[in-house]
């Protein structure tokens, strides 16, 4: 284990909830920028204007802080309930409900946005700390596959073919760039995020794109 990951056992009082929030916000930013392995605990403490003992007090160790960064900012956002409600809707309504659930962190402040970006980084630099959410990610794929299969006329219970999976993954990809490219998008056109109703506009346009992708797959499959 990296010595930096081993926080002192001694715990100390700090300034309560505000100190914890500062530490979590600093950790989110640095973990997104550098990754888990390359972010020393002391750098997080310095960025949060706190000390290493305060991190130990609130989070236990570096792994505990990383888990908090991965989970806390999005724990109250839409999840399985939103997907379940969309299952039997017509194509565009089902796509819109699913896309809205996926984009919800865009309207929940900077920490939620950073949390989603950190989760995406896990795909390239996995720590294993999101493994217990794998069933939820697999459920999203099954959910989208079922939506497009129904739209393309698949009989219920018919196993999806590789092209159907590719279509579902491509629709999921639509909601990724607003997160990973957030800074570039905002620099090019701030109104895409800052204008009133920006989230609704993203949902509307991405739903239209996703529906067009389904139409293209339908046309491709015609004899």
User: In this predicted model, what pLDDT tens digit does every residue of 61-72 receive, in sequence order?
Assistant: 999 999 999 988
Q: What is the pLDDT of residues 29-63, one digit of tens each?
A: 999 999 999 999 999 999 999 999 999 999 999 99
Q: Tell me what pLDDT residue 105 has.
A: 83
Q: Output the six-digit token pair for 144.
A: 């989208």
Q: What is the pLDDT of residues 7-16, one digit of tens each?
A: 444 444 445 6
For residues 71-90, give the mean pLDDT: 71
pLDDT band at 139 (very low <50, low <70, confident <90, very high): confident
CA dihedral (75, 81, 82, 84) positive or negative: positive
pLDDT band at 87 (very low <50, low <70, confident <90, very high): confident
Q: Tell me what pLDDT residue 14 has.
A: 40
Question: Half-sphere exposure of 180 toward its Cβ, with a 13 Å CA cutoff?
Answer: 11
- In words, the CATH class of domain 3-72 is mainly alpha
Flag whether pLDDT at 122 surpasses 80.
yes
Q: Start-end ranges of CATH 1.10.357.10 in the chain?
A: 77-221
- In this structure, which long-range contacts are made by residues 162-168, counting pairs with CB atoms below 8 Å and at least 24 apart in sequence? 163/217, 163/220, 163/221, 164/217, 165/141, 167/213, 167/214, 167/217, 168/141, 168/144
86 vs 116, more confident: 116
Q: Tell me what pLDDT residue 37 has.
A: 94
Tell me the Cα Rg of the chain: 20
For residues 177-200, give the mean pLDDT: 91
Q: Tell me what pLDDT residue 149 has.
A: 94
Q: Which CATH architecture has domain 77-221?
A: Orthogonal Bundle (1.10)
Flag whether pLDDT at 189 surpasses 80.
yes
Flag whether pLDDT at 167 surpasses 70.
yes
Q: Tell me what pLDDT residue 8 has.
A: 44
Q: Start-end ranges of CATH 1.10.10.60 in the chain?
A: 3-72
């Amino acid at each position: 284990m990296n010595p930096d990951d081993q926080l002192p056992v001694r715990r100390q009082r700090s300034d309560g909830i505000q100190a914890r929030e500062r530490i979590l916000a600093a950790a989110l930013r640095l973990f997104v920028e550098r990754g888990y392995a390359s972010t020393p605990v002391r750098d997080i403490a310095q960025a949060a204007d706190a000390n290493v003992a305060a991190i130990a007090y609130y989070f236990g160790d570096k792994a505990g802080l990383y888990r908090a960064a991965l989970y806390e900012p999005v724990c109250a956002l839409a999840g399985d309930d939103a997907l379940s409600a969309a299952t039997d809707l017509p194509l565009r309504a089902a796509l819109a409900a699913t896309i809205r659930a996926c984009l919800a962190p865009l309207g929940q402040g900077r920490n939620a946005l950073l949390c989603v970006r950190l989760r995406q980084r896990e795909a390239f630099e996995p720590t294993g700390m999101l493994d217990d959410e794998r069933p939820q990610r697999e459920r999203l794929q099954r959910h989208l596959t079922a939506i497009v299969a129904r739209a393309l006329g698949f009989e219920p219970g018919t196993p999806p073919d590789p092209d159907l999976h590719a279509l579902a993954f491509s629709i999921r990809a639509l909601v990724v760039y607003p997160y990973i490219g957030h800074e570039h998008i905002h620099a090019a056109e701030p109104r895409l995020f800052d204008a009133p109703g920006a989230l609704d506009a993203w949902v509307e346009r991405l739903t239209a794109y996703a529906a067009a992708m389904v139409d293209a797959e339908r046309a491709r499959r015609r004899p």
